[in-house]
């Protein structure tokens, strides 16, 4: 099956669009840890510059549809401490209006292909809301395993709580 999406490295020029998409996603309580007010264009541009610098510390990708519109983004961010330098943190967001179309799968496949080529990267960690069954299924199908549950991490405006599931992909197990 040929995907209707392509993947490329994020650029600083993408930052405003990525910030808007995350702010819109964050309007649904419990999907992201951040609230819309906590997501700035400048922070996205800075992160892209850091991860996509010539030293390639990490990886920041965007998914683009046939018209050239950004439909998702994902990043692998290396842990800064020497003893954890083999561990990268995953963040992935499928932009509103583009869920259930394979965007997440295309981004995951591209990130895992990049990860498999980088000896330093031995483990990818992520946190996913326990209520996000679709994302959990995607991660499991990509070889991620649950490593724990963080109870009552997200407090919704209603006063209810959502747990986070800690998941990981280990190169040695793939």
Q: Give the pLDDT confidence of 140-153 residue by residue, as tens digits.
A: 999 999 999 999 99
Q: Are 61 and 8 in contact (CB under 8 A)?
A: yes
Q: Give the pLDDT confidence of 121-147 residue by residue, as tens digits.
A: 999 999 999 999 999 999 999 999 999
Does the residue 38 lie in any domain?
yes
In the sheet that holds 145-155, the strands lie side by side as: 6-9, 59-64, 70-78, 87-94, 123-129, 161-170, 145-155
Does the residue 58 lie in any domain?
yes
Q: Find the CATH number of the domain harbouring 15.
A: 3.40.630.30
Does the residue 48 lie in any domain?
yes
| Calpha distance 161→33 (Å, rounded) | 12
Which tops the pLDDT comparison, 97 or 54?
Answer: 97
| Inter-CA distances, 133 with 3, 31, 57, 93, 165, Å | 23, 11, 31, 15, 11
The model's pTM is 0.92
| Inter-CA distances, 43 with 16, 30, 49, 89, Å | 10, 21, 10, 17
Range of the domain at 138: 6-173
Does the residue 96 lie in any domain?
yes
Total structural domains in the chain?
1
Q: Is the pLDDT of residue 2 over 70?
A: no
Does the residue 1 lie in any domain?
no
């Amino acid at each position: 099956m040929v995907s209707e999406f392509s993947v490329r490295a994020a650029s600083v020029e993408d930052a405003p669009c990525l910030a808007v998409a995350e702010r819109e996603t964050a309007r649904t309580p419990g999907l992201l840890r951040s609230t819309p007010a906590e997501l700035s264009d400048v922070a996205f541009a800075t992160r892209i510059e850091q991860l996509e610098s010539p030293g390639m510390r990490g990886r920041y990708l965007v998914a683009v549809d046939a018209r050239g519109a950004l439909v998702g983004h994902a990043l692998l961010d290396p842990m800064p401490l020497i003893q954890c330098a083999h561990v990268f943190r995953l963040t992935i967001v499928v932009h509103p209006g583009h869920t259930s179309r394979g965007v997440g799968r295309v981004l995951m496949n591209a990130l895992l292909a990049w990860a498999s080529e980088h000896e330093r990267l031995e483990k990818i960690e992520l946190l996913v809301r326990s209520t996000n069954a679709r994302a959990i299924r995607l991660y499991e199908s990509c070889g991620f395993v649950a490593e724990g549950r963080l109870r009552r991490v997200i407090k919704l405006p209603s006063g209810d709580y959502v747990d986070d599931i800690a998941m990981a992909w280990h190169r040695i197990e793939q």
